[in-house]
Amino acid sequence: MTVESVASVETVPTCAYPGCTMPPEPHAPDAQGPAPRYCGHPEHNALGAFRKFRAKRQQRKEDKRAAAEAKKAAERAAKGGGGAGRRAGPGRRGGAPAARTCPRRRCVRAGPGGSHDQ
Ligand SMILES: [Zn+2]
């Protein structure tokens, strides 16, 4: 975007195509109706401008959707997501290994001895 001087742009008409700063084509002396609003570029006409507008809008829409989806995914992940792939990790929870660390054999042996409770 090049904004030179807004004051001078007011007096000089430019192509109505978005982003184009070319002057519109001169009004043909034998043509009827209003002066052309677009420059000589083959795509710079009402249809081209419309297409450009629509493409821009579509792009914005897609950007928005992508952002929304990314946000959703982030929220899902932040929620402590019981998502897929989490279960494949090593180390099962709720297993019995904790109980095993208490050597039952020693307890049994200490029981009759009387010196098990401190
Ligand atoms: Zn143009």
Q: How far is the CA of 79 from the centre of ligand 1 (A)?
A: 51
pTM: predicted TM-score of the whole model, two decimal places:
0.44
Residue with the bigger pLDDT between 29 and 66: it is 66
Q: Are 35 and 59 in contact (CB under 8 A)?
A: no
Q: How far is the CA of 63 from the centre of ligand 1 (A)?
A: 27
Q: How far is the CA of 51 from the centre of ligand 1 (A)?
A: 14
Q: State the virtual CA torsion across 10, 14, 17, 18 in degrees, nearest 10.
A: -40
Q: Are 25 and 15 in contact (CB under 8 A)?
A: no
Q: How far is the CA of 32 from the centre of ligand 1 (A)?
A: 21
Residue-level pLDDT at 81: 59
Q: How far is the CA of 113 from the centre of ligand 1 (A)?
A: 101
Task: Provide the 8-state DSSP code for 51.
Answer: H
10-62 pLDDT, tens digit per residue, is: 567 899 999 999 999 887 778 788 888 999 999 999 999 999 999 999 999 99
